[in-house]
Amino acid sequence: MNWIRNAAIGLTVAICASTPSFSNEIGNAADGEKLWGECKSCHAIGKDAKNRVGPHLNGIFGRRAGSEEGFNYSKGLARMGKDGLIWEFDLLDRYIENPKAFASDTRMSYRGLKDEQKRADLLAFLRRYSDNPGDIPEAAPTVAGTDHDVDPSILAIQGDPEYGEYLSSECTSCHQLTGDNDGIPGIIGWPAEDFVIAMHAYKDKYRPHPVMQMMAGRLSNDEIAALAAYFEAVEP
Amino acid sequence: MKINRRLFMGGAAAGAAATTLAAPMVHAAGHGKPKVVVVGGGAGGATAARYIAKDSKGEIEVTLVEPSRSYYTCFFSNLYMAGFRELGSIAHSYGKLASDYGINVVHDWAIGIDREARTVSLAGGATLNYDRLVLSPGIDFVDGAVDGWDVTHQNAMPHAYKAGSQSELLKAQVEAMPEGGTFAMVAPPNPFRCPPGPYERISMIAHILKEKNPTAKIIIADPKEKFSKMGLFQDGWSRHYDGMIDWIGGDFGGGNVSVNPHDMTVTIDGEVTKVDVCNVIPAMKAGKICDMAGITEGNWAPVNPHTMQSRVDENIHVLGDASSQGDMPKSGFAANSQAKVAAMAVRSALTGSKLFPAKFTNTCWSLINDNDGVKVGASYEATDEKIAKVDGFISQVGEDAELRQATYEESVGWYAGITSDMFG
Ligand SMILES: Cc1cc2nc3c(=O)[nH]c(=O)nc-3n(C[C@H](O)[C@H](O)[C@H](O)COP(=O)(O)OP(=O)(O)OC[C@H]3O[C@@H](n4cnc5c(N)ncnc54)[C@H](O)[C@@H]3O)c2cc1C
- B146: confidence class by pLDDT, cuts 50, 70, 90: very high
What's the pLDDT tens digit per position in A116-163? 999 999 998 888 887 654 444 443 333 333 344 678 889 899 999 989
B43 contacts B123 by C-beta, under 8 angstroms: no
Contact criterion met (CB below 8 Å) for B198 and B185: yes
Whether A11 and chain B come into contact, CB under 8 Å, resolves to no
Give B253's contacts (C-beta < 8 A, 6+ positions apart): B268, B269, B270
Give the domain ranges of chain B: 33-140+285-355, 151-282
Please give the Cα distance from A211 to B381 (Å, whole number). Answer: 16
Contact A122, A145 (CB under 8 A): no
User: Tell me, what's the pLDDT at A25?
Assistant: 61
In terms of CATH architecture, what is B151-282? 3-Layer(bba) Sandwich (3.50)
B409–A163: do the CB atoms touch at under 8 Å? no
The pLDDT, as a whole number, for residue A84 is: 83
> If residue B398 lies in a helix (H) or strand (E), which one and from where to where?
none
| C-alpha dihedral, B75 to B78 to B84 to B87, nearest 10° | 70
- A215 to chain B: nearest residue by CA? B379
User: What pLDDT is stored for residue B318 in this prediction?
Assistant: 98
Torsion angle of C-alpha atoms B186, B188, B194, B195, degrees rounded to 10: 100
Q: Judging by beta carbons within 10 Å of its beta carbon (0-12, 13-18, 19+), is residue A5 exposed, middle or buried?
A: exposed
**Separation of alpha carbons B114 and A81, rounded Å:** 57
- List, as ranges, residues 350-369 from B with C-beta within 8 Å of A: 354, 356, 359, 361, 363
B403 to A84: CB separation less than 8 angstroms, yes or no: yes
Q: Which phi and psi (to 5°) does residue B107 adopt?
A: -90, 95
| pTM of the complete model | 0.81
Tell me the β-bridge partners of B302: B324
ipTM: 0.80
CA distances from residue B297 to B98, B189, B294 in whole angstroms, order as listed: 34, 18, 9
The DSSP-derived string for B225-288 is: S--TTHHHHHHHHHHHSTTTEEEE-GGGTTTSEEEETTTTEEEETTEEEE-SEEEE---EEE-H
How far is Cα A236 from Cα B18, in angstroms, rounded to an integer? 30
Q: Which of B55, B308, B346, B363 to mutate to test the interface with A (most CBs of A within 10 A)?
A: B363
**B338 touching chain A per CB within 8 A:** no
CATH architecture, domain A24-144? Orthogonal Bundle (1.10)
Q: How far apart are the first and last CA of chain B?
A: 33
Residue range A152-233, CATH number: 1.10.760.10
Outline where B33-129 has alpha helix (H): 43-56, 77-81, 95-99
DSSP lists the bridge partners of residue B166 as none
- Region(s) of chain A under CATH 1.10.760.10: 24-144, 152-233
| CATH assignment of B33-140+285-355, among 3.90.105.10, 3.30.450.40, 3.50.50.60, 3.30.70.100 | 3.50.50.60
Nearest to A166 by CA among B341, B150, B298, B272: B341
Distance from residue B43's CA to the centre of ligand 1 (Å): 6
pLDDT, one tens digit for every residue, chain A (236 residues): 333 333 333 333 333 333 344 434 678 888 999 999 889 888 989 888 888 889 999 889 888 899 988 898 988 888 888 888 889 888 899 899 988 888 878 888 888 898 999 999 999 888 888 765 444 444 333 333 334 467 888 989 999 998 999 899 999 999 999 888 888 888 998 888 888 988 988 898 888 888 999 999 999 999 999 999 999 999 87
A127 touches chain B (CB under 8 A): no
* DSSP 8-state secondary structure symbol assigned to residue B330: B
Q: What share of chain A is helix, strand, coil (3-state, %, to 5)?
A: 45, 0, 55
Question: How many residues make up chain B in this entry?
Answer: 424
Does the beta carbon of B158 lie inside 6 Å of ligand 1? no
